[in-house]
Amino acid sequence: MSEAIMALLPAPSFLVPTLAAYLPFAGPDMRYVYGLFATIVGIGLVMVVFRVLARLREKRQVQRSSWVTYEKVAKVKGLSAFETQLIGTIGRRARVQRPSQMLGSIRLYESLIDQALDRNWIDDDEMVHLEKARAKLVRTSRPWDGQNRRQFERAPCAFELNVTCITKEAIDEELKASYDETDEKFMQALDGLVAENRVESTRVQDLSAGGLALLAGDKDQFHDGDYLAFSPGEGGSPIDLSAIRGGVLDVERMEEQHQVILHVRFLPYDGDLRKQLIRTVYEESERAEAGKREKVGGARRPLAERKPLVQRKPLVQRKPLVQRRPVPERKPTTRHQHARGNAPRTPETRPNSHARRDPF
């Protein structure tokens, strides 16, 4: 039965024309249909392209701002321009997403340096600068809390201090073995070499319980890793540092002034002397703060001595714009004035007045 019905129906190729013949409107023009689909696809592709370009632009802006942040952090950490550029080049080649983390994490910094050494991105001279940068990062990345605040807080001081420099090579040659800075042999060797070296005159810039900063002449006599012995200079000092030994962390050179700033750390020393040094640091800090307050207060005059900003003149009594004449007093009228009509008219003298008249 079904086969008979299918035999009666027209073939599929003739189905569409047959239905179109019975419909009240003509068939659609397929060119417009295909054009509509092509337009929709084209608009979609254009939107995708614009979206991709916007993502790339946003990514570049984020990358640029992250590198600007890296340069600011490097300046705060005390890195030189060459060290900042060198570390930034390594970070770009390693495709670091957050450059500022290279300066905040010592582990990440060391892993990048190891990667640069394995891939031969740096040479020996650049490695020396990277080691100096690492020492600066270690010095500035210590946590600042209540416990070590007393250790690393610096007070501005200015006094003469004589130093004796002992190079690290001289210590290595004297001991000829691995050593620790707390060993008694190390301290004996250091004290023995102090007498053999020349004394240099320096000036203290700031002081803390953990170290100090010294201003000295640049004769290429100080290097990173050297050791220093202290002795009193001319003019006296707030505290005697003769019993303390120090190590040079960094040498900041000022080529125009032919001077250097030595950043020095103290080797382990006596606890009583540490307490005395902490007390001196706080006293110097308070003295510096008091000096600043006096300068600010001295620049201002007391309220009694201050003059007004504008010298105002006393107010002058102004004259009226129109000079009004005084009104003369009116004289009482007489009967003759009433008779002549010169008297002012009152309700009693008006012609239309309803007031009673005197019969006399």
What Rg, from alpha-carbon coordinates, does the chain have?
Answer: 49
Query: Residue 163 has what pLDDT?
Result: 92
Strand (E) or helix (H) holding 230? strand 227-232
In this structure, which topology does domain 151-298 adopt according to CATH?
Thrombin, subunit H (2.40.10)
Average pLDDT for the chain: 76
Reduced to 3 states (helix: H, G, I; strand: E, B; else coil), residue 203 is: strand
- Digits of tens for pLDDT over the chain (360 positions)? 445 545 555 555 555 566 556 656 566 667 787 888 889 999 999 999 999 998 888 888 888 888 888 888 888 777 888 888 999 999 988 888 888 888 888 888 888 888 888 888 988 888 888 888 888 887 666 554 444 454 556 778 888 999 999 998 888 888 887 777 878 888 888 888 888 888 889 999 888 888 888 999 877 888 888 999 999 888 878 888 989 999 988 888 887 778 888 888 888 888 888 888 888 888 887 887 887 777 776 555 454 455 554 555 555 555 655 556 665 666 555 555 544 555 555 555 555 544 444 444
Dihedral sign of CA atoms 149, 150, 155, 159 in order: negative
Compute how many other C-beta atoms are within 10 angstroms of the C-beta atom of residue 133. Answer: 24
Nearest to 248, CA basis, from 261, 259, 260, 264: 264
Residue extents of the structural domains in the chain:
58-140, 151-298
Contacts of 50 (CB under 8 A, 6+ apart): none
d(CA 297, CA 303): 12
